[in-house]
Structure 1
Amino acid sequence: MAHAAPASRRRTTSTRPSTDVLSPRAHRVASVAVPVGLGLIYGYWVAADRRAGGEITGWNLLLGFVSAVVFILLFVAIRAVSGQMRREMHAIMWAAFTGCAVGFLYSQTGHSVVRSSLMGLAFGAACFVVLFYRYYTHEDAEGRRTS
């Protein structure tokens, strides 16, 4: 007579091994270090574009630091809010942030407002397409993230 094999009492949550190799502490440090690092790079880039190879002035330093602080604050705010949104709004928020950042950076080189706006729109649109595809392929039919 055939009998069913006894089931294991251990519950497994996933059959896939975890790809997360960093500790929770490393994630906490990275959640602060990444926005600050990117903001400082962005601020330096804005200041360097504005001075166009000329001398470094106090106003140039102020512009760089203010740009860095605004970039960091917006990056952290968008990262905190966009995680709870549907994929369309999630992608739109990051695309708008990227487009505005690139447009402002491009405007510091001395080009016209129209050309800077078009450059920001182009980068924002490309960013939206890439991010929407990524979020669309990483959600199930109800909009819950699978990874």
Structure 2
Amino acid sequence: MSLHLIKLAVGAESVQDMTDWVKQRLKEKKRKGQKPEHIHTTRMVPKRADELKEGGSLYWVIKGQVSCRERILDIRPFVDKEGIGRCRIVLDGKVVPVEPRPYRAFQGWRYYPEKDAPKDLTRAAPGVAKMPEQLRRELRELGLI
């Protein structure tokens, strides 16, 4: 059974915003001749890194809702120039919308067991996946989806 991370997407306004941001970062890396990997750098190394690498995803909270995910490919601890231990979470760069769930703000990350993870939106509600994100948010807030 996979283990996942849940993290705030600071600055992202929507799933589309997150998708565009990831695409732009990958494009920039390619332009610079770097390996086109989507890497999220954190201060701490997850203690359960091995479990995360066995099919886990990073679920992003956008504007108070778990909204999308990216598959975790690797966890790479390192020490920065100032001697501070950090961690690179390597993601597949494919932002997948998920069944939205409210989630309040927090610091760092939280673990998400497979049984509690939201389903991909295309599997949970195929018709809803085609709706504009803002409409999905409004319908969710009204308790209609």
TM-score (normalised: structure 1): 0.26
Higher strand share: 2
Bigger Rg over Cα: 1
User: Larger relative contact order (C-alpha < 8 A, sep ≥ 6)?
Assistant: 2
TM-score (normalised: structure 2): 0.26
Higher helix share: 1
